[in-house]
Amino acid sequence: MIDIEVARKIIRNTLNPLISNFKDIALFDFPNYSNVGDSAIWLGTMDYLKENASSFPIIWMSDIKSLSAKNPPVFDKKTLLIINGGGNFGDLWVSHQRHRELLIHNYPNNRIIQLPQSIHFQSGLNLESTKNLIAKHKDFHFIVRDKKSFEIAKTFEGTKAYLCPDMAFYIKRIPKLKKPKHDVVALIRTDKESVISEDYGKYKMPSFDWISEPKTVAVRIDLFMGHYPSIIGRYPLLNKFFRLFIYKRLAEERFRRGCDLLMQGKVVITDRLHAHIMCTLLGIPNIVLDNSYGKIKNILTTWEGDSEITVQAEFFSEAAARANLYLRR
């Protein structure tokens, strides 16, 4: 896998020219749900902006539920709009795509940067519809994180396409490793991107996903305020400071929870991209399986590089065997 410092350099070289000469920044699609990986992307983005765009104040943050389609915020033409990265560009995760297309439609005169994404459309008609919408925008910059997505992005008429590593590589605050409790743990998807059909429960290792979370104080506050969106939406300063605080707290809690799960094993088997990236940041050996549409394999193929701690496997049985080889070293 790509070296962490090399990844950060490519991110800077890609984004720095795009974010200059703007008055302020609006951030969209905060991952306000329990999936740890998307919170890792957000934290990497915030660390990047803190290091490279500290002179541009962040005047707006929202998730896909808190952005009103009827009363969208009004921005100056010199406000830069940034959409969080991930693996939801396409028609598999429809709500995120609708939110993205709403932004493109509502802000034709603002520069919009789509941070590194993977593209996956199940329907050719949906792909063409998205192409037609984006073609009408004057200043849309499409950043993707694998070569296959890059080839698709280049077919979007009038769109500037870029190839760049995932923003999670820019996370600067990595927790210290804890003593592992188990030889091997398996962090395996339980959502619609899962493709593992083997009975991995027969292997003597703890297995889990990271899409459930405890009701912490931050989660409870966010849920409470979610019932009263008009309070936040009515007062821009309240919106700004509340979301700066609560989003930061939520993302950090979720990232820490994910790290704690991964640090339980001397070796991790996973089919989640960000479990792999976080293992890379933490220095934990990891065996990587693919997801349902080849996202992980496409990314690993794109950013080839020597790695002593990452190995790909096609089946869970193979992954378990490779994990045992690590333990014998």
pLDDT range class, residue 227, cuts 50, 70, 90: low
Tokens of 62: 């929202």
| Domain residue spans of the chain | 4-170
pLDDT in tens, 201-211: 888 899 999 99
Residue of 312, 290, 318 whose CA lies nearest to 200: 318
Query: What's the pTM value of the predicted model, to 2 decimals?
Result: 0.94
* Rounded-to-integer distance, Cα 259 and Cα 282, Å: 8
C-alpha neighbours within 13 Å on the C-beta side of residue 269: 31
The CATH classification of domain 4-170, taken from the options 3.30.70, 3.40.50, 2.30.30, 2.30.29: 3.40.50
Query: Residue 148 above 70 pLDDT?
Result: yes
- Please check the confidence at residue 198 and state whether its pLDDT lies above 90: no
The rounded distance, in Å, linking the Cα atoms of 271 and 208 is 11
* 87-118 per-position pLDDT tens digit: 999 999 999 999 999 999 999 999 999 999 99
pLDDT surpassing 70 at residue 327 = yes
Q: How far is CA 202 from CA 33, 69, 73, 206, 207, in A?
A: 30, 48, 52, 10, 11
